[in-house]
Amino acid sequence: MTIPVLTIDGPSGAGKGTVSRAVAKQLGWNYLDSGSIYRSLAIAILEQKIALADVCAITKVAQAMQLKFECGDELVVLLNDVDITAQLVTETVGNTASVIAAYPDVRDALLQKQKDFKKAPGLVADGRDMGTVVFPDAANKVFLTASSEERAKRRYKQLIEKGISANLDGITKEIEARDKRDSERKTAPLIAADDALTIDSSDLPINQVIEAVLNLVR
Ligand code: C5P
């Protein structure tokens, strides 16, 4: 039996997480938040004080790290049995993730961990290269985007709601720098798959985006 996969790629803050979780819930499918895998590795690297240029050491940590995802109302992530959920959302972790995600060896080390999420009855996979590299044969692919100003506003609101102090100008600059790094890297750059439906969510209420994605799958 083929297991259906829906990929949702796009830049940071485009609403991929919210849309993917809602669609996975509606369909009763599994959910892969691939960014949290790169973020978990970033946390391990920061904790172990490994230099961001030490590709060999980072790859070894990527190969050895044990991740567990507990999916309830909120995603809980355990790194080597320690709950790191609260640390995952910080900008330092996101930026570190984006730096180490540019290394091909690191991406290779994390590939199988992502493919393993493909289980019946189906999978919604959210990230940057889900439709291009990890699940190129997915039946349905979406590229979800929004203007950088809108994305920065959403990220700011998200952090404030979580009680994390944030600065809108700083977030806008960081989002633009991260977009540039993710789009310009040689391996698995942030790019829409040829067969993806592109949705610009800048002026769309999130419910309409969710409906559009559900219609695509149905
Ligand atoms: O999506 P999120 O903001 O959590 O991702 C953090 C970083 O991890 C991204 O900026 C990107 O560099 C990297 N990433 C990636 N490929 C993915 C998911 C995330 O390179 N599939």
pLDDT digits (tens, 9 = 90+) for 167-198: 999 999 989 998 998 899 999 999 999 999 99
CATH number of the domain to which 108 belongs: 3.40.50.300
Please work out whether the CB of residue 62 comes within 6 Å of at least one atom of ligand 1.
Answer: no
Domain extent for 49 = 5-217
Range with the lowest mean pLDDT among 68-72, 90-94, 152-156? 68-72
Q: What is the pLDDT of residues 81-112, one digit of tens each?
A: 999 999 998 889 998 999 999 999 999 999 99
Is the CB of residue 20 below 6 angstroms from any atom belonging to ligand 1?
no
> Could you tell me the distance, in angstroms and rounded to a whole number, from the CA of residue 108 to the centre of ligand 1?
14
Contact 38 CB / ligand 1 (< 6 Å): yes
Q: Is 67 helix (H, G, I), strand (E, B) or coil?
A: strand
- Label residues 132-171 b or e (16+ Cβ within 10 Å = b): bbbbeebebbbbbbbebebbbbbbbebbeeeeeebeeeeb
Please tell me if the CB atom of residue 15 comes closer than 6 angstroms to any atom of ligand 1: no
12 vs 25, residue with greater confidence: 25
For 125, the 3-state DSSP assignment is strand
Mean pLDDT value across the chain: 94
Say how many Å lie between the CA of residue 40 and the centre of ligand 1.
11
34 close to ligand 1 (CB < 6 Angstrom): yes
Q: Which residues of 77-86 are buried (b: 16+ CB within 10 A; e: fewer)?
A: bebeeeebee
pLDDT score at 204: 93
Strand residues in the chain grouped as ranges (E): 5-9, 30-33, 67-71, 75-79, 82-83, 123-127, 140-145, 197-200
Number of domains comprising the chain: 1
